Structure 1
Amino acid sequence: MFKVLPKQTHSMQTRDRVRLDADVYYPDAVGPFPVLLMRQPYGRAIASTIVYAHPIWYAAHGYIVVIQDVRGRGTSEGEFWLFEDEIEDGYDTVNWAAALPQSSGVVGMYGFSYQGMTQLYAAVKRPVALKALCPAMLGYDLYHDWAYEGGAFCLQANLGWAIQVAAETARLKADEATFLALSDAARNLPLHDPVPARPAIMSELAADSFYHDWLDRPPSDPYWQRLSPKTYVEAFDLPMLHIGGWFDPFMRGTLNLYNATAARSQHPQHLLVGAWAHLPWGRKVGSVDYGSEAASLCDRAQIRWFDQFLKGIDTELLNEPSVKLFELGSNQWRSFDRFPTDAKTPYYLTSTGLAGLTDADGSLTSTPGDYSAFDQLVHDPWRPVPALGGHASAPSGSFDRASLDCRSDVLTYTSAPFDDGLQVIGQAIVTLYCSADMPSFDLSAVLSEVRPNGGVYNVTQGYRRVNSSEVTEPLQIVLQPICIQIAKGSAIRLSLSAACFPAYPVNGGTGATPGEAKAIAAQIITLTLQTEDSCVLLPIST
């Protein structure tokens, strides 16, 4: 370990003569050293220390660490437009960082969320100095993996983040009134305006926010393709350590990026997935403590990755399986040569027609029932089923949802307890034969572990917005990827509802988009579920 010199501030100019500022941390020794670069929009002093070790720790391992404010953020010049300038600015920054005094001329990048996206953008034009990436928790496809899930707008996450970004813009402009108003809105999300997904405060105080684009642009709009890393990743090929969390809203993006690059890359692609939510990365997520093994090991994993690919040290990681997953339930790490994609085992829904009234009337069975039944679910927009944990709401994680499952607008289907437990690894798919009496409806599907003491803890879930005119049965809801050992004596339960608010906007049934749907126009929706042939396809490991 090296001693580290006091932080220095360095500036560079982009190709269009915009100054970008960075904090630079040097080992207190004679170089050369490789460079680790993070490009972020939250003020470089934070340096993502909410999930990572401080840059000083990385510098002490023999790296020059550069934490840069992206254009229009922190003290960097220019206007900030979400993701718009990161390809060119990223390329310019990598070349600048590689030429810093005592640099060995090679650069690696790390960071999560926005900072994960900037890594991919910086690689698009293939700067020669960029040799390795550690992207964590990002949206491979900006529309499907970030802004929307199953066609439903990710309201709580998108609005909360948009307000945070807008408040930072106001702070940088020294607009105290706007900053304070947005800060208050961040702590008390404005969810009850005439158009709930379009709060007046965003129109009045953040008219130029990306939030309006995300609400208004349909999935076919070129905007999404232009800003999605998915559009560009085939342009480059680098060693990448992909990092995700089972309760992170971007887990599907992390997995999609990993699968796409692993299928074609000539370089190592490793995947590390912990028990974590988007932040923090610790042993307790929601109300469940997954033990000491669940604590983040990402900092050490990243140093090892960069030692291998930036310093040329044989760390033996190339001799190890490329996928490392934390298994919930057993609370231990498991290794695989690839992310499991084994065939899925169906568990069929059976019911007496009263699955919304008692948990004894809806079942999950390994063989189809010998009769057809229908369950009705009445969705009242006045009292939507609330979000509780999972990956799309805050706080995230696993909670006891037994009281939610007692609601009559939640249909539950529960298996018998397992004599030998059940190991589930991969993506479960819920297949439903369902219709509604309104032009549009939503489906929320939550898979839980029902413990012998009666606790019902959510494991994974998914969401879908459905236009009745476009229904082609069966409907499918892809659940969040998961790796879990269901304990001996526990059962599994599928809970179905027509809302998960405020993770997603309440569907008023009119067919209006979230940006146009008025609260006063919301209608009561009756859903009819045919249990015959409806099932959960579980990726059971044998």
Structure 2
Amino acid sequence: MTISVQRTGPGPVSPSATQHMVRMRDGVRLATDVYLPVDPQPGPVILTRLPYDKCGEYTFMPRVAAYFTARGYTMVVQDVRGKFRSEGETLLFVNEAYDGHDTLDWIVQQEWSDGVVGMWGDSYYGFTQWAAASTGHPALRAIAPRVTGTRLGELPGPVPGQRTHDTEMGVARVYPLSMFHDQDMLEWEFDWTRRPLAAQVEEFFATVGSRSASYDVWFPHPVTLRRFPAGSPFDAPPVPVLMTIGWWDNCAPWSWHDHREIQRRPAWARNEYLLLEAIDHENHSHFELDPLVRTADSDAALPRYLDPAIEFFDVFLRGQDRDLPRVRWQLANSGDPAHRTDVAWPPPAAHEIVLRPAGAAAAAGAAPGGSLTAAPTGSLTTAPAETATWIHDAADPVPSPVADAFSFLAEYPDERHLADRPDVLAFTAAPVTAPLDLAGPIRLRATAGSDGPEMDLFARLLDVAPDGTAKLIARGQQTILDPGAAFAVELDLGHVGYRLPAGHALRLTVASSDAPEFVPAPGTGEHRWLAVTTVPNRQRLRLGETALTCTVLSEGKAPR
């Protein structure tokens, strides 16, 4: 097979910026653009460090910078080490802490800086904020990481003594081959039906004529990367953090991990501000689903994208006297995009409801499948002892509903057809008679089993409209090692703010694949990237020991 690779190099430096080559402690120089406000007096600076080209169209930094400078901030945007115009080895994660520290050192020495710096940005350029914060640099006074996490891109794997771990995202090993292979961005099509998967990577290396250090440190013999050589960010002196998490962000589990870690550290917890929005990873909004008005990366979207950060920086970089809500969140599907405010998350007024699936035979058939009914909290042992079964076949996996999981809301598909597959269990509740507001975590406790050596368990919570349309609300997944006949597992389906309208119903689906967003288990126990053959496995779910717990605001309006 011939692999076609499209290479994208750096875009032209914006005429509004001045590029500097900033020297790091080891002599490597990083390309750094400085955007000054109209009146460039010494003042606070916003720093963004990213691997996606500081001058490129993908992240549109010149437009972001213009928005910040119009409000009096100087903005500094830097290509991270080894990317685009910056020098050094291309190796993801490991250089960001000290490179961030050294860049902060350079900023505070400039005539346009008053010694106060904030950092802003999404995804990897949210991670670089945490990396810089881990060094405890005194100039870094606030960070605003969006749709990211300190464990961003972390590859899951077996841990001694544990029988579960995260399920591997398909993009995890491909990302180092596209974004962190060399200085440019490389785009190529991966064929998920060809095995072994690792063979295609070698073909890619042969095509481009070089290897990727970022890939080779992970496969086939993984090396633990020192993301934070100065220590965990949460052991560093706390700084105010505005953490944006998207309800449909496929990277949200890493964000929620950081939130939980922050809540365990009182000093950090006092400095955390949550912004919970109805967005996916690429900033598409659930309130802008019409393709004719969708504005994820347009100038029209800049206020909703940047205004919360500017308000945050005005307080913590400029010292403006203003009370910021601890939690701002959107209730998707409510028709009102305005942010609600609370003192904590979940909202103090929220409570849990428990829904139990039943009807094993119907669940494996066409939608609506089995039932999903309300049950008293904690009454798992009183349900009938039913066991639902299905066959997982990696040669014919349950297809991922979208082509690009990072832009889920750009497609936001009707998933009703997936419930009709024999390898997907479906359980549908009765329609609600009044709106049901979900606001908080969702989790699935289950007892699962398999005749295979490992088992992936995927759960999706859907909104089913009266016409049968089924749209995703939340989802979670877990890999079970050596599940045997029965293994108790808890799936985290994330957090959500979502209104289920009157007449709509909740549907829970359970499966063992979601490909290619996640690499399917081959059924043989072999490494997923090295397996040549696949073996179907019979999977089991004990319905009497399975329950879905949802956090809701509206009392008395749960499914019956």
Question: What range describes the TM-score normalised by the shorter chain of this pair?
Answer: 0.7 to 0.9
Alignment of 1:167-206 (within 5 A): 169=183, 171=184, 182-183=186-187, 185=188, 188-196=189-197, 199-200=200-201, 201-204=203-206, 205=208
Change (3 A) 1:311 1:468: same
TM-score of the superposed pair, with normalisation by structure 2: 0.84
Comparing 460-469 and 283-292, the one that deviates more: 283-292
For the pair 1:152 / 2:154, whether they are aligned, the reply is no
Q: Mark the runs of 5 or more structure 2 residues left unpaired by the alignment.
A: 1-13, 159-163, 555-560
Deviation at 1:395, TM superposition (A): 4.2
- The two structures, once aligned, show a CA RMSD in angstroms of 3.2
Indicate if the aligned counterparts of 1:440 and 1:509 stay in contact, CA closer than 8 A. yes
Partner of 2:478: 464
For the pair 1:46 / 2:56, whether they are aligned, the reply is yes
The residue identity in structure 1 corresponding to 2:372 is: L
Change (3 A) 1:50 1:407: farther
For the pair 1:208 / 2:212, whether they are aligned, the reply is yes
The residue identity in structure 2 corresponding to 1:98 is: V
Comparing 453-462 and 396-405, the one that deviates more: 396-405
For the pair 1:359 / 2:367, whether they are aligned, the reply is yes
For the pair 1:72 / 2:82, whether they are aligned, the reply is yes
Partner of 2:396: 383
Please give the secondary structure, in 1, of the residue aligned with 2:257.
Answer: helix
Q: Count matched residues.
A: 517
Partner of 2:70: 60
Deviation at 1:507, TM superposition (A): 1.1
In the aligned structure 2, how far is the partner of 1:360 from the partner of 1:246? Answer: 25
Indicate if the aligned counterparts of 2:238 and 2:271 stay in contact, CA closer than 8 A. no
Deviation at 1:331, TM superposition (A): 3.7
TM-score of the superposed pair, with normalisation by structure 1: 0.86
In the aligned structure 1, how far is the partner of 2:274 from the partner of 2:155? Answer: 17
* Selected match of 1:308 from 312, 315, 328: 315
Indicate if the aligned counterparts of 1:51 and 1:280 stay in contact, CA closer than 8 A. no
For the pair 1:249 / 2:250, whether they are aligned, the reply is yes
In the aligned structure 2, how far is the partner of 1:217 from the partner of 1:424? Answer: 43
Partner of 1:348: 356
Deviation at 1:374, TM superposition (A): 2.0
Partner of 2:385: 372
In the aligned structure 1, how far is the partner of 2:546 from the partner of 2:227? Answer: 38
The residue identity in structure 1 corresponding to 2:151 is: D
Change (3 A) 1:469 1:451: closer
Change (3 A) 1:278 1:51: farther
* Selected match of 2:345 from 334, 339, 343: 339
Change (3 A) 1:450 1:334: same
Deviations 1:472-528 (A, max 9, x none): 63222111321111111111011111110001112111112223222xx21011112
Indicate if the aligned counterparts of 2:44 and 2:113 stay in contact, CA closer than 8 A. yes
Q: Mark the runs of 5 or more structure 1 residues left unpaired by the alignment.
A: 172-178
The residue identity in structure 1 corresponding to 2:115 is: G
Alignment of 1:116-135 (within 5 A): 116-135=126-145
Deviation at 1:198, TM superposition (A): 5.6
Deviation at 1:160, TM superposition (A): 4.7
Alignment of 1:104-503 (within 5 A): 104-142=114-152, 150-155=165-170, 157-166=171-180, 169=183, 171=184, 182-183=186-187, 185=188, 188-196=189-197, 199-200=200-201, 201-204=203-206, 205=208, 207-216=211-220, 222-223=224-225, 226=227, 231-262=232-263, 263-265=265-267, 267-283=270-286, 297-314=304-321, 316=322, 318=323, 320-332=324-336, 333-340=339-346, 344-367=352-375, 371-389=384-402, 392=405, 395=408, 398-469=412-483, 473-503=487-517
Partner of 2:109: 99
For the pair 1:87 / 2:97, whether they are aligned, the reply is yes
Change (3 A) 1:69 1:298: same
Change (3 A) 1:166 1:143: closer
* Selected match of 1:536 from 510, 531, 548: 548
The residue identity in structure 1 corresponding to 2:212 is: D
In the aligned structure 2, how far is the partner of 1:415 from the partner of 1:288? Answer: 31
Change (3 A) 1:230 1:244: farther
Deviation at 1:322, TM superposition (A): 0.9
Deviation at 1:79, TM superposition (A): 1.2
Change (3 A) 1:480 1:216: farther
| Identity score, percent | 26
Deviation at 1:125, TM superposition (A): 1.9
Deviation at 1:243, TM superposition (A): 1.1
The residue identity in structure 2 corresponding to 1:349 is: P
Indicate if the aligned counterparts of 1:405 and 1:412 stay in contact, CA closer than 8 A. yes
Partner of 1:174: none
